[in-house]
Amino acid sequence: MAIYPTAQFLASYDAGRGQRYYLFGTTASFDELVGYYKVQTKQGGDLVFKDPPTHMFTGGTLARFREETMVFPPSVTVKDWTGGGSPGYPNPKIGAQPQRFPTIIMIVPPPPGTPAPR
């Protein structure tokens, strides 16, 4: 799965069943990231929340969700952390720049060994 070129890795978490999800922070705008992932995933995705704006990409060039082997559908989620007047997502690295990220990307790849989509 493509990661936006200037995104900074923030953390990864165990989602269960061999899946992890990965958080990246970026100073790019929500609209810029949605456009980037529309091209990368070859799909329009869905605006799942208006406030704060959250856009999710599943299916298409990503692996298909298999309930018996996955906790989360393979996906890319882009969230505007400045929605509602928030100053952004705090950078977990003390003293690092930027201090806050206006936009966060969450990537959930399929578990290892999942066949690639056709």
pLDDT tens by residue, 41-58: 888 999 999 999 999 998
In the chain, the number of structural domains is 1
Please check whether residue 35 lies inside any domain of the structure. yes
Please check whether residue 117 lies inside any domain of the structure. no
Degrees (nearest 5) of the Cα angle 47, 77, 23?
A: 155
pLDDT digits (tens, 9 = 90+) for 109-118: 876 665 555 5
Query: Which position has the token pair 């930027």?
Result: 98
Please check whether residue 72 lies inside any domain of the structure. yes
DSSP H stretches of helix in 47-104: none
Please check whether residue 86 lies inside any domain of the structure. yes
Task: With residue 103 as reference, give the H or E element that holds it.
Answer: strand 103-108
Cα 51 to Cα 14: distance, rounded to the nearest angstrom: 27
Please check whether residue 42 lies inside any domain of the structure. yes
Please check whether residue 3 lies inside any domain of the structure. no
pLDDT of residue 67: 65
76 pLDDT exceeds 70? yes
Please check whether residue 113 lies inside any domain of the structure. no
Query: What is the span of the domain harbouring residue 66?
Result: 8-108
Half-sphere exposure in the Cβ direction for 82 (13 Å, CA): 12
